[in-house]
Chains A and B, each alone.
Chain A
Amino acid sequence: TQLLEQSPQFLSIQEGENLTVYCNSSSVFSSLQWYRQEPGEGPVLLVTVVTGGEVKKLKRLTFQFGDARKDSSLHITAAQTGDTGLYLCAGGDSSASKIIFGSGTRLSIRP
């Protein structure tokens, strides 16, 4: 059974600080996606990484896919209150018949 573990589960930091969220598995994934979800809404896709070692940047967000394609990280620089939300990683197998999600990291940014 494929599982994705995210850490930390909860994170509360001051505006302007940096943070990193981790997504780990013992399974290899053909692609890994990061989503952000706000209360009462569906998740919104932030990025997809498909190559081991790949790094993608989206403004203040940096995403990295591990060399072995078993883990990923999301780093936010100079966090803003608008970054508050539930961050979810999701991994797909080669057939993409099943994308599984981690349990999420709930991020709270204090002004």
Chain B
Amino acid sequence: ETGVTQSPTHLIKTRGQQVTLRCSSQSGHNTVSWYQQALGQGPQFIFQYYREEENGRGNFPPRFSGLQFPNYSSELNVNALELDDSALYLCASSLDRGHYGYTFGSGTRLTVV
């Protein structure tokens, strides 16, 4: 079975720009969750998609938005980038919302300059 794949692996953007990060979930998984991890910190929950619907959201502004597609892959979009958005963005897939654990991708390192 394939794991979770994220693209791109690294990205540099300018403040004010928009970015789209992509995630292919593990085969058989129907839930994708997105996390932001600042250096030296634990991952912070952004939102979760379950069967193409947003199923929960953390304390992130509306300029963070997402999608889940019929094949359960997902996108994270961030508008009007700020310097503080620089972080590792992690995608995690799971079966049925992740009560028993997630499979994470290796992340996208976003740098906003």
Binding site for B on A (CB under 8 A): 4, 6, 30-31, 33, 35, 40-45, 48, 50, 88, 92, 95-104
Known: A42-B90, A45-B101, A99-B33. 17 other contacts (CB 8 A): A33-B101, A33-B102, A40-B106, A41-B106, A42-B4, A43-B43, A48-B99, A48-B101, A96-B96, A97-B50, A97-B55, A97-B56, A98-B48, A98-B58, A101-B45, A103-B41, A104-B41
Pair count A-B, CB < 8 A? 66
Binding site for A on B (CB under 8 A): 4, 33, 35, 41-45, 48, 50, 55-56, 58, 90, 92, 96-107
Residue of B45, B97, B103, B105 touching A100 (CB-CB under 8 A): B45
Task: Give the chain A neighbours of B42 by CB distance below 8 A.
Answer: 4, 6, 88, 101-104
B22 to nearest A CB, angstroms? 15
Instruction: Name which of A42, A44, A95 has the most chain B CB atoms within 10 A of its CB.
Output: A42
- In the complex the two chains form, is A97's CB within 8 Å of B48's CB? yes
Complex Cα–Cα for A4 and B55 (A): 21
